[in-house]
Amino acid sequence: MLVEEGARSQQGQIVGAPEQVAERLASFVRHGFTFLNLWPDGDMTAQLERLAKEVVPAIRALADR
């Protein structure tokens, strides 16, 4: 997974802007997944920070819909 605007996806990888990544992951939650094992790509510190601040809160909001 790579949270980066304009990033190109490789097979089996979720990439894109925070909103895009959150929407894709929220779809798993809406389909019954109760655990997401996130494997960031790129700069680990920056990716973890973006996940915590931008993606996870959006997943929670989207999954409740």
- Note down the domain range covering 20: 2-63
Q: Are 55 and 18 in contact (CB under 8 A)?
A: yes
Strands (E), the chain: 2-3, 15-16
Q: How far is CA 4 from CA 9, 31, 35, 43, 44, in A?
A: 11, 25, 23, 11, 12
- pTM for the complete prediction? 0.88
Tokens at 64, concatenated: 């409740």
Closest CA relative to residue 13, chosen from 28, 24, 27, 2: 2
Count of domains for the chain = 1
pLDDT of the chain along its 65 residues, tens only?
A: 999 999 888 888 999 999 999 999 999 999 999 999 999 999 999 999 999 999 999 999 998 76
